[in-house]
Every structure is written in C-alpha cells, then in structure tokens.
Structure 1
C-alpha cells in the first residue's frame, strides 16, 4: 500500500509539473485556453519558412560571399577576409592627414564613394519633391472636384509603367532631337541625356514624375482615415484652411509620413533600372548609382565578392537611416 501511494503521489507531481510547464509555454506564446495564438503561429509558419528560404537565406549567403573572391561560373571562392571591403572603401574620404574629398569629385579615385555621392544627390533632389508633390495632389483630389477619378488615374499612370519603358520614353524626350528640344528656343537646346552635366537631372525628373503618383495613393489613404468631426470642430472654432492643415491634417498623417519618407529614401538609394536603361551609368559615370555599380562589379566584371561587400555597406546605410526615423518619429497611431 505504501509503495502504491508513493507511486500515486509521484504521478500527481509529474502531472502537475507537466501542466505548469504547458501553462507557462502558453503564456509565453500568448495563447489562451482555446489555442487561438497557436493557430496564428501555425498560419504564419509558411510565410516565415518561405521568407527564410528565399530571402533570408540568400542574404546570409551573399554576406558570406562578401568575404571571398568568388567565381560565379565555378560557384566557389577563396576566403579573403575583409579585403573586398578594403577594396571598396579605400581611399577613405577622411584620413589621418584630413579630408580627402577628391573621392567624391573624381570617379577614378574611388568609384564607390563617387556613386554614393551621386545616389545621395539623387535622393536629395527627388525625395522631397516626390513626398510634397504627392501630398499636394492628394490634398487636391481629396476635395470635391470634377473628374476626380480621371485625375487619380492620370497621376497614377506612371506608377503602372515599368521602369525600363519609362527610361526609354524619357531618353527619347531628352535626346538631342527629342521633344523637349523641339519645344525650347535654340539657345536652350542640349543633349540632356548625353551631357554629363544634365544626365542625372534627367533621371531625377523621371523619378519625380513616377514617385508623385505612388505617394499620392498613400496620402489619400491617410487623409480618408482622418475623422471629419475634427475638421468640423476646427471650422466652428474659426480655423483657417492653413490652420486646419497645420493642426488637424498634418498631425494625423504622422504614420503615413513615416512610411512614405522611409520608403521614398529606400527607393532612392536603391535606384537601378531607370539609371541603367536611361544612360547605363554614363556619360562619364554621371548616372552611376550605387546599386548600378554593384550590378556592374558583380555581373559584368564577375567580382561577386566586391559587389556583395558594396551591397552590405549600402544595407548598413539604409538600415541606419530607417532606424533613426523609427526612433525619432511619432509613429503611434492616433485613436479616437
């Protein structure tokens, strides 16, 4: 009897410990007694598996390649450590002797720093106009205007065109005998696409033309989520149109602004297709952006390790900006 009672107590202790362990696991997973959270994790599992296999896996593989002198034909490489990163970054713009700004002004000194400067100029010239242009169009189309749907379709049309088609069209517009020169006086005519001083401006113009429409859609969605009661209360208090925008519209677009700014900057730093088709990085490296240079090094010259190193340096720059925006922006949604 004593032996059987001891076994029963042991079984009860084991059952209690197992129940406590299962309950603690459910709490950590956020699962109630009905198992809804576990079902949620199971539904997310295929997406996580596909992401890990087709996105995260290649990224980690490319990071490993960045430390090797890799041959894409032999699918093998030789470990070289940080040599690829040193080849990309040297000479540095800041040395013990002081600033070395020649790397930003002479592509023969260091083409990576030159391309990074070109990409930064492109981002500064396009992102603000894409964002504020999209906001202005969204504000206009959010009011009662005739043919609103037609205007929305017209502004969104460039987004539906492929980058290659847009680049070919704009190259024809800006060529020496193109549409733009035919509309200008003779003394203002230029070969806009073939002149190093104007080629990057042509790519920027193309990006602004396409970016306004995409940002317009995001801002329209944000504007339609703002409660109309706030505008009615502002009108009753005598607020002007500017004050309604300043104190009602703009604060309530905080989450939309964060998303649009981050996505616009990421898109600007990853510009590739339009620069490749428009002028293939020329003339004289005028439109050689960082991603285009990565493509040229990796696939045209066969330097996969150097291209992978450039890609991860660019990733760190984009990640630092995105993290800064996330930390310093009021990203919490407003609830009513």
Structure 2
C-alpha cells in the first residue's frame, strides 16, 4: 500500500515537473520570437474573437431578443410590440394541471382546453417512447460492429444511412408506408390487420416515434463506437484473467467506461426529442386532431401561422427551462459516477 502511494506521489511530482518544464520552454520560445506574455494572451483572444462574435450575433443575440419578445404583445408586421409583463406566460400555462381544487388532468387529454399542456404531453410521450430505444438500439449495434465481423463497413453504412436522409424526406417516405394504401398495409391486409396508421389519432404519434427510432439508432451507433474504441484493452484482459464472463465484462468494464459517452448520448437524445419539429410537421402537420402536435410545432404554429410571437416565445422559454433542468441534473449524476483509470 505504501509502495502504491509512493508510486502515485512520484507520478504526480513527475507530471507537475513535466508541466513546469513545458511551460518554461513555451515562455522561452515566445521570448526568442519577441512575443511577451501579454501579447501571447492577446493573440489567444484574437483567435477566439471570431467565434465569440459569431456566437453572440447569430445565437445569443436572437435568444435574448426572443426573451424580450416573450414579455411583449409583438406584431411581426410592425416589428414592434407593447410590454404586457408575464401575461403571455399566464396565457400559455392556464389552466394549470394543479389547482386549488385538486388535479386538472383534462389539460393533458383535451386539446381544446389547453393546447400547450396537450402538446407537452405528446412531447413527453414521444421522448419516453423513442429515447430508450434509440440509445439501447445504438449501443447494441455498436457492440455488434465493434467485434470482428464480416462486411463491418457495409453494416455501418447501412445503419447510418437513415441519418443521412433529411427529416422531410424520411417523413414523406414513412407517411407513404403507414397510409391506408401504404406498403405496410399491403402485407397486413391479407390477414385482416390493415389500418390507416398515419390518419388515426390513436396511432399517428406512434408512426412518428417509429420513424424517429429508425433514424436515431444510426447516429447513436457512431457515438458508442467511438466510446468503445477508447476503452483500454488492458482492462478487458485483466478481467478475463480473473474469469469474468461476457456479461461481467460489459457490466464492470464496458458500461462504467462509457460514462462520458452515455452522458452525451442521453442528453443529446432527450434534447432532440423535446425539439422534434420537422418530421411531425411533414408527417401530418400536427394532426390528425392534434395527435402529433409537439411543443416546438405548436410554437411554430402559434408564432408564425397565428402571428402570436409573444406567446410563441413564452412557450419556447418554458421548454428551454424543462430541458435545462434535465440537462443539469443529468450532468450532476454523471459527475458523481465518473470513472477514472
């Protein structure tokens, strides 16, 4: 134990000495080229400045302006608005699911009562139904293709093919598959199971979810493959020497060391699910009877179709708050279980 502590302290001192040596060498090189420390810092800021300018102009600026619009009764024609405080937020949220008289769950089942809560319910159902399948499917495919299999590159290309298709093209294709006269019903009709999957409010959202899972497995596969290839082979060899089975290798070596990859994939998949827009718009424009109206689609319709820019901006920031809270707690969870080797 003392030897291990001595080795660790020796490695730390060696690393510190190496960093000091490299720092002195960098400073000496800068002096030889006539670059002072202040000038070196200035050069760093100059390299960063274009990215900061683009981020502030095209990303941060519009976000702050949308936050300002959320407190306005904004007219897109006059490009001006009247300050109304939090009235847009109250209009979007009322009636609340929880009142002084108890629960009011009808806001989640009746789109005419509050379309925002109804669309948020659709978005949660979509996320719960797609994110686990996208992640588990991507991980399963990555584990299969990480081994020595024939035609590995062809399989990777085949699974990644849906990612290269645009959302609009995928939605048109799947709407044709799931329509009353579509390809799927041509196989189901002889056994009496034909159904207008895309035109029925009970199954339309399921069709959008099926399309999302089909397209999301390929992108997650790429991330998991990158994570698997960064796991040291020595860990597997040591576990095999100790008699670990395939399940133990996955449970105690693969899964813990995919922590950073899991965090990235889960957060990005959830954010993508809560921001689903294009495929829902092209697939059925939010119908039939609001069955595929997601929150972002409702924001688009409220702001640009109905001209209620303030309400649309208020919905956007409520959705942002939901995504931010999830991402923050997922980050805290990931930090607490981080693996070092």
TM-score, length of structure 1 as denominator length: 0.88
2:111 aligned to which of 102, 107, 110:
107
1:246 aligned to which of 240, 248, 251:
251
Residue 52 and residue 34 in structure 1: after superposition, are their counterparts in 2 closer, same or farther (change >3 A)?
closer
Q: How far apart in 2 are the matches of 1:263 and 1:151? A: 24
Q: How far apart in 2 are the matches of 1:285 and 1:259? A: 32
Q: Counterpart in 2 of 1:4?
A: none
SS at match of 2:224: helix
Aligned residues: 305
1:275 maps onto 2:280 in alignment: yes
Q: Give 1:145 shift.
A: 0.3
Check the 8 A contact 2:267/2:330 in 1, yes or no.
yes
Structure 1: runs of 5+ lacking an equivalent: 1-31
* Higher Rg: 1
Q: How far apart in 2 are the matches of 1:33 and 1:71? A: 51
1:98 maps onto 2:98 in alignment: no
The 5-angstrom pairing of residues 89-168 of structure 1 reads 89-168=93-172
The 5-angstrom pairing of residues 213-228 of structure 1 reads 213-228=218-233
2:241 aligned to which of 228, 236, 248:
236
Q: How far apart in 2 are the matches of 1:314 and 1:247? A: 36
1:74 maps onto 2:78 in alignment: yes
For the aligned residue pairs, the C-alpha RMSD in angstroms reads 1.4
Structure 2: runs of 5+ lacking an equivalent: 1-35
Q: Counterpart in 2 of 1:293?
A: 298
1:309 maps onto 2:309 in alignment: no
Check the 8 A contact 1:254/1:331 in 2, yes or no.
no
Check the 8 A contact 1:69/1:80 in 2, yes or no.
yes
Residue by residue over 1:162-191, the C-alpha shift from the partner in whole angstroms, topping out at 9 and shown as x without a partner, is 000000000000000100001114421100
Q: Counterpart in 1 of 2:67?
A: 63
Q: Give 1:37 shift.
A: 4.3
Q: Give 1:236 shift.
A: 1.1
Residue by residue over 1:223-275, the C-alpha shift from the partner in whole angstroms, topping out at 9 and shown as x without a partner, is 00001111111111110000000000000000000000000000000000000
